[in-house]
Amino acid sequence: MGFVALSAAFLAPAVWRRVILYRTPVSWAELKSERGRVTNFAHYLVGVLEQFDTVDLCRGLQPGKGVWASGTDASGRVLAELEVYEVVVVE
């Protein structure tokens, strides 16, 4: 649900006060190459992750509007807060 909520907040920012992404992968694009994933990509528009990723959407929001709580990597491992910050803000 994190990707969907983030997409909705990006497309209609006036409707959302804040989006909290709990245990959401910092990069959905990484999941394409991860073996043994549990994500079913049939729920997403074909090719959408080739155009942008969750990080791109989060960077497009107003500061403080997107909050990552326990962001994960492609394998589902919870990342340290600093790791999420480095991916979302610094890259």
Q: What is the mean pLDDT of residues 32-39?
A: 59
Residue 65's contacts (CB-CB under 8 Å, 6 or more residues apart) are 9, 13, 16, 17, 18, 19
In percent, the amount of the chain with pLDDT more than 90 equals: 2
85: domain range? Answer: 2-90
Share the mean pLDDT of the chain.
Answer: 77
45-49, 59-63, 69-73: least confidently modelled range: 45-49
- The pTM for the full model equals 0.68
Q: How many domains does the chain have?
A: 1
pLDDT of 71 > 60? The answer is yes
